[in-house]
Structure 1
Amino acid sequence: MTAAASPPWVDGLTIGEMLRETARQSPDADALVFPQLDRRWSYAQLDADVDRVARGLLALGVDLGSHVAVWATNWPQWVLLQFATARIGAVLVTINPAYRAFELQYVLKQADIDTLFLLDKFRGSDYRAMLNEAAPELAGCDPQNVQLKDFPKLRHVIAIQGEPTVGMSSWESFLKGADAVSDTELSQRESHLNHADAINIQYTSGTTGFPKGATLTHRNLLLNAYYIGQCQQLTAADRICIPVPFYHCFGCVLGVLGAAVRGAAMIIPAEHFDAEATLAAIATERATSIYGVPTMFIAQLDHPTRSTLDFSSLRTGIMAGSPCPIEVMQRVVDDLGAREITIAYGLTEASPVITQTRTDDPLELRVKTVGRPLPDVEVKIVDPATGEELGDEQQGELCARGHLVMLGYYQMPDATAAAIDDDGWLHSGDLAVRLPNGYYRITGRIKDMVCRGGENIYPREIEEFLYTHPAVGDVAVVGVPDAKYVEELAVWIRLKPDATLTEQDVQQFCRSSLAHYKVPRYVKFVTEFPQTVTGKIQKFKIRETMIAELGLDESETA
């Protein structure tokens, strides 16, 4: 464990209090910049707009601890709602914008959503149509009094863009409601908040086949945001380019909160990752820090406009989500100028960062390790079978303890007990070794997980969905190496007698109800699976077979 040099100024504060203090210290500094929308907020303006949105939530009757969900790409309303929910003590539930109706239905019910804010459309996703598919009763509801049999907690649905459809309110009418709530009422609500309160539920795919809602506190998030900024040596003079999604901890914690605790600017290139927009935003807004997973950096490095732009302002940033090849890291340093880029490792359940490299670490350490623990975080390596703590250079499960550990999974006590032991250690499910210098290297996974382009996917979730197809008798999903996404999904399917399916049928079935990154790239129909003597499918043999048949390179993934 690395001890903090001095107590972080945010420790003991709520997220709302943190924003007020940053706005007091840097009122005129850029807080939030959307170049493509030609909009920007100073910290004073952001704080004032957050107050208005917070009063709008109070006007809806959103109580302490109520669950408010946002289902959208990276829009200004997302940031306003993140701070506003925290300011009134509501729990922000982040919904992946790639979710389909099947997944939305699950989250709305499992998370006890009280209020839902949603986008209208993005690319091939029609969010309103999917909501109506998940909750067809909504079309007959009064927007001021939503009552749905399958979702008894849901009372309000607000469209953050365009004219609302039946059963929904508009963003503009929502904001008008703020006029009925005084600043005094808002202050009274704020006085009841505590930094240890639950404030965010982030969904992560579950080994049980269903996503689990990691419940995080003000303190969890603020200390993580503070320390990841410290590892980058961020100050109020920095400008962070954030092309990663807000729904994920990378965007809303390391990005939004990481900037706010330092008084740095948040630069949002586009509503979804776009290499050209990201490069343009770095250059025109003079970004000093850039975030992303390796595939994002590769797309920027290979984009034809890169050589025409000036990246001399860029200094640092965070790369996370997947192992980074040394050639890519070298190009990020040489071609983008991010000479002090850092590598971070963690889990949603850990708020999310556990270990991080520092700006002055040699390049080799930033490629071959995931750094050392954040200050005041304990990390140990244990034998997965016995729980015995292991020494340096011994492979075992990485466990963490400290301010970053979630409260637990929402309404999943058994899953919580499996993840956090009686001594408060969070078990990552990842295999790692500790080097003699105190840095950690991730070596594999205990959990049956696939990491595709920075998205963690648990095959069991996809398998259970495929079992709902009437033609599927048995199924096994594995990850296989991929040059672009590090890993891709492959599925073996044994059909029921006399049933027929094509590869395209399987992919379309998944595409209709699952996020795009969960759609298997490879589909193979088989009559039997490799099994142990007890009948357990040997997925490692499936993976080996697919690698051989497809001529894939095993070295492309960890």
Structure 2
Amino acid sequence: MSKMRQSPLNVSRKLCLDISTFLLQDCRYASSTVQNIFEQRSVAELAYIQQPGQMPLENMTVGCLLERAAEQWPNRDFVISLHQNVRLSFSEVLMRADRLAAGLIKIGLRRGDHIGIWSPNYYQWILSYMAGARAGLVIAGINPMFYESEFQFCVEKIGMKAIFAPASHRNKKYADIMLTVKKHCPFLEHIITFDDDHVTGTRRLRDIEELANKREIEAIKKEQSAISMNSGVNIQFTSGTTGKSKAVVLSHRSLVNNAKQVSLRIDLNNRKICLNVPLFHAFGMVSGVTAPMHTGSIIVLENFTFNPMTSVNTIIQEKCDVAYATPTMWINMIDVQNKLGLKIASLYNGLIGGAPVSPNLYKRIRKYLHLDKIQSIYGLTEATGIICQSYENEPTELTDTTVGHVSDHLEVKVVDKNDNIVPFGSSGELCVRGYSTMIGYWNDEENTNKVLSEDKWLKTGDQFILYKNGYGCVIGRIKDMIIRGGENIFPVEIESFYESHPAICEVQVIGVYDEIYGEEICAFIRLRAGAKLTNEDIINYATGKIAHFKIPRYIQFRNDFPKTASGKVQKFKLKEEVEKQKLVPKKPEN
């Protein structure tokens, strides 16, 4: 086994490490953890790991990372936007980012101000992000699928001073919406569009780039040392799968180092990446945009939004050797491959994340997309998108049955409802501590304190099992747990079971109100093309294979699911749908 893939040191040895070691790795409160562990039970059996790093953390900003990349690979392509017919090298992105950054300063923006990017995957998204980082601004990515009220919520939530967006895209009039919202939000001073045509009341990005003189542009480079790596650079609005979004503030250091972890574990050195995931999401921000700056890799934007046909064709035509996608995206690409019989031969590796993955999906990716190396990434927005990752050459059984190995320089523990650490192999809530945890929810101390303790442990909300070898698996979201007649049921277990059926493509399971049992199980099932199953077939397939109380009482067959732009299924909308259809009783109001 290579040094990179060694299991973590056992806990008892870790507890003997000098406290200064923990301080160097951002584990400032290790002594309290040590004390708690000794007070509870035998150290060796507790689900606690402090994962050492094989390489030191990078102490730099996103803007400095771009500058270093431009020095190393000045003429290498950094961004290829096929749908816009644009190719930009690392040096071109840096040059344009500095011009745009200087222009933003010229119009009155100052270090620490909040700006937004509300757009599908345009190359200008990346330019705006890099310019904001170089200017010391905090950049919020906004879901391009949001409507006016949702967009206004984001603007008001963080006091946004400027917003970048296309004037329009397909049937959506972004400029009109932004101008309407500006009337209600006077602090929104600048609307900057990507388009060549001018819209009254807005500015064009190209004009902002031309505002500053040579001296002002050169000043941007000189100012980089004044931007703290520990300051915020990105605001992520949580995905909204359960309602109103929170504004997660992430630091330069978090993004730079989580991006480095990705680049090391999946071997991104000089790769060409088909980037299917949206740029505004943590997956796209960290693994898609920031990680290639560590390795000189090329970002290929296959379309404004994910299209499985375009994605498969892009991989073939551009000879992409890496692809990023959520589970649903991989499923859709397999459907295209099966339907058209296209030959994908260039892929070296694939990264999957953003939602739970069934073992069956890994097998299907290998079989139908001829991709032997498929690696997972697990985390949450509040942890800069990454807590665990696969290793490149790990056994397929580990890839298929876990969410990967704990990332370097992080502490993790699994606790029960009383915050006591459980033994390895037992389930509980996963908590993480280290450089990558969020600064906090913007202007929301109450919710920040609910998930981030005084000693900087972040509660993930995931029911998790941690093993001694450093790998772990997610049983499900604690808030998604179904309690049926006193039995605790996690939807992901049922979803994974049914996705092993050869006729079933995708399954989503929720709990719905029941007068007798408190909750019952409702399963939404998407079949493979041409397949036919009945409710009775679904019940019979599970009978004798899983406990009777895990077999769904309510079953619906569907062609698609309501999703966020990042590919996460919005289960709260599924629940609303079945209640509106009166297929299940609605829980009485208190």
Q: How does 1:140-155 map to 2 (within 5 A)?
A: 150-155=184-189
Is the contact between residue 98 and residue 516 of structure 1 (CA under 8 Å) also seen in structure 2?
no
Moved more, 115-124 or 352-361: 115-124
Residues in 2 aligned to 1:117 and 1:250: alpha-carbon distance in whole angstroms: 20
For 1:290, the equivalent position in structure 2 comes to: 323
For 2:202, the equivalent position in structure 1 comes to: 168
For 1:281, the equivalent position in structure 2 comes to: 314
For 1:81, the equivalent position in structure 2 comes to: 128
For 1:342, the equivalent position in structure 2 comes to: 375
Q: How far did 1:446 drift?
A: 1.6
Is the alpha carbon distance of 1:83 and 1:481 closer, same or farther for their aligned partners in structure 2, counting shifts above 3 Å?
Answer: farther
For 1:189, the equivalent position in structure 2 comes to: 223
Q: Quick one: which of 406, 417, 428 aligns to 2:460?
A: 428
Q: How far did 1:205 drift?
A: 4.7
Residues in 1 aligned to 2:208 and 2:428: alpha-carbon distance in whole angstroms: 51
Q: Quick one: which of 371, 396, 402 aligns to 2:404?
A: 371
Q: How far did 1:527 drift?
A: 11
SS in 1 for 2:244: coil
Residues in 2 aligned to 1:82 and 1:364: alpha-carbon distance in whole angstroms: 38
Q: Quick one: which of 21, 32, 50 aligns to 2:97?
A: 50
Is the alpha carbon distance of 1:376 and 1:189 closer, same or farther for their aligned partners in structure 2, counting shifts above 3 Å?
Answer: same
Is the contact between residue 59 and residue 180 of structure 1 (CA under 8 Å) also seen in structure 2?
no
Q: Quick one: which of 52, 55, 68 aligns to 1:3?
A: 52
Instruction: Give the alignment's TM-score, normalised by structure 1.
Output: 0.78
Structure 1 stretches of 5 or more lacking a match? 138-149, 460-476, 486-509, 537-558
Residues in 1 aligned to 2:520 and 2:438: alpha-carbon distance in whole angstroms: 28
Query: What's the CA shift string for 1:311-354, capped at 9, x where partnerless?
Result: 32211121012222333212322332332211111101100110
SS in 2 for 1:122: coil
Q: How far did 1:516 drift?
A: 11
Query: What's the CA shift string for 1:283-315, capped at 9, x where partnerless?
Result: 122212111111111111111588654432211
CA RMSD of aligned residues (A): 3.2
Q: How far did 1:162 drift?
A: 4.5
Is the contact between residue 67 and residue 91 of structure 1 (CA under 8 Å) also seen in structure 2?
yes
Say if 2:395 is the partner of 1:362: yes
Residues in 2 aligned to 1:390 and 1:244: alpha-carbon distance in whole angstroms: 35
For 1:100, the equivalent position in structure 2 comes to: 147
For 1:67, the equivalent position in structure 2 comes to: 114
Q: Which amino acid aligns with 1:482?
A: F
For 1:159, the equivalent position in structure 2 comes to: 193
Is the contact between residue 337 and residue 368 of structure 2 (CA under 8 Å) also seen in structure 1?
no
Say if 2:83 is the partner of 1:36: yes
Is the contact between residue 92 and residue 200 of structure 1 (CA under 8 Å) also seen in structure 2?
yes
Tell me the number of residue pairs that the alignment of Structure 1 and Structure 2 aligns: 472
Is the contact between residue 465 and residue 472 of structure 2 (CA under 8 Å) also seen in structure 1?
yes
Q: How does 1:202-241 map to 2 (within 5 A)?
A: 202-205=236-239, 209-235=243-269, 237-241=270-274
For 1:415, the equivalent position in structure 2 comes to: 447
Q: How does 1:361-400 map to 2 (within 5 A)?
A: 361-383=394-416, 385-400=417-432
Query: What's the CA shift string for 1:44-82, capped at 9, x where partnerless?
Result: 222212122212212222100011100000001100111
Q: Percent identity?
A: 28
For 2:69, the equivalent position in structure 1 comes to: 22
Is the contact between residue 344 and residue 371 of structure 1 (CA under 8 Å) also seen in structure 2?
yes
For 2:287, the equivalent position in structure 1 comes to: 254
Instruction: Give the alignment's TM-score, normalised by structure 2.
Output: 0.74
Q: How far did 1:176 drift?
A: 2.1
For 2:304, the equivalent position in structure 1 comes to: 271
Q: Which amino acid aligns with 1:165?
A: V
Is the alpha carbon distance of 1:435 and 1:216 closer, same or farther for their aligned partners in structure 2, counting shifts above 3 Å?
Answer: same
Q: How far did 1:88 drift?
A: 1.1
Query: What's the CA shift string for 1:412-439, capped at 9, x where partnerless?
Result: 0011111111111110011011134321
Any runs of at least 4 consecutive aligned residues in structure 1 with deviations exceeding 4 A, and if so which? Answer: 205-209, 304-310, 448-454, 477-480, 515-521, 525-528
Say if 2:337 is the partner of 1:300: no
For 1:313, the equivalent position in structure 2 comes to: 346
Residues in 1 aligned to 2:106 and 2:295: alpha-carbon distance in whole angstroms: 31
SS in 1 for 2:355: coil
Residues in 2 aligned to 1:479 and 1:97: alpha-carbon distance in whole angstroms: 33
Q: Which amino acid aligns with 2:258?
A: N
Residues in 2 aligned to 1:480 and 1:124: alpha-carbon distance in whole angstroms: 35
For 2:542, the equivalent position in structure 1 comes to: none
Is the alpha carbon distance of 1:120 and 1:306 closer, same or farther for their aligned partners in structure 2, counting shifts above 3 Å?
Answer: farther
Q: How far did 1:222 drift?
A: 0.5
Is the alpha carbon distance of 1:409 and 1:59 closer, same or farther for their aligned partners in structure 2, counting shifts above 3 Å?
Answer: same
Q: Which amino acid aligns with 1:232?
A: I
Residues in 1 aligned to 2:298 and 2:404: alpha-carbon distance in whole angstroms: 26
Q: Which amino acid aligns with 1:4?
A: G
Q: How far did 1:165 drift?
A: 2.8
Is the alpha carbon distance of 1:527 and 1:198 closer, same or farther for their aligned partners in structure 2, counting shifts above 3 Å?
Answer: closer
SS in 2 for 1:178: coil
Q: Which amino acid aligns with 2:372?
A: R
Is the contact between residue 300 and residue 306 of structure 1 (CA under 8 Å) also seen in structure 2?
no
Q: Which amino acid aligns with 1:371?
A: G
Q: Which amino acid aligns with 1:524?
A: Q
For 2:469, the equivalent position in structure 1 comes to: 437
For 1:403, the equivalent position in structure 2 comes to: 435
Q: How far did 1:480 drift?
A: 5.0
Is the contact between residue 319 and residue 346 of structure 2 (CA under 8 Å) also seen in structure 1?
yes
Is the contact between residue 220 and residue 404 of structure 1 (CA under 8 Å) also seen in structure 2?
yes
Is the contact between residue 315 and residue 337 of structure 1 (CA under 8 Å) also seen in structure 2?
no
SS in 1 for 2:247: strand
Q: Quick one: which of 519, 524, 534 aligns to 1:482?
A: 524
For 1:353, the equivalent position in structure 2 comes to: 386
Q: How far did 1:219 drift?
A: 0.3
SS in 2 for 1:431: strand
Q: How far did 1:479 drift?
A: 9.7
Is the alpha carbon distance of 1:231 and 1:306 closer, same or farther for their aligned partners in structure 2, counting shifts above 3 Å?
Answer: farther
Q: Which amino acid aligns with 1:111?
A: I
Moved more, 361-370 or 442-451: 442-451
Residues in 1 aligned to 2:437 and 2:257: alpha-carbon distance in whole angstroms: 11
Q: How far did 1:245 drift?
A: 0.1
Q: Which amino acid aligns with 2:105?
A: L
Structure 2 stretches of 5 or more lacking a match? 1-49, 482-490, 496-504, 512-518, 528-562
Q: How far did 1:363 drift?
A: 1.9
Q: How far did 1:117 drift?
A: 1.0
Residues in 1 aligned to 2:338 and 2:310: alpha-carbon distance in whole angstroms: 10
Q: How does 1:486-497 map to 2 (within 5 A)?
A: none
Q: How far did 1:247 drift?
A: 0.8
Is the alpha carbon distance of 1:363 and 1:124 closer, same or farther for their aligned partners in structure 2, counting shifts above 3 Å?
Answer: farther
Residues in 2 aligned to 1:378 and 1:353: alpha-carbon distance in whole angstroms: 13
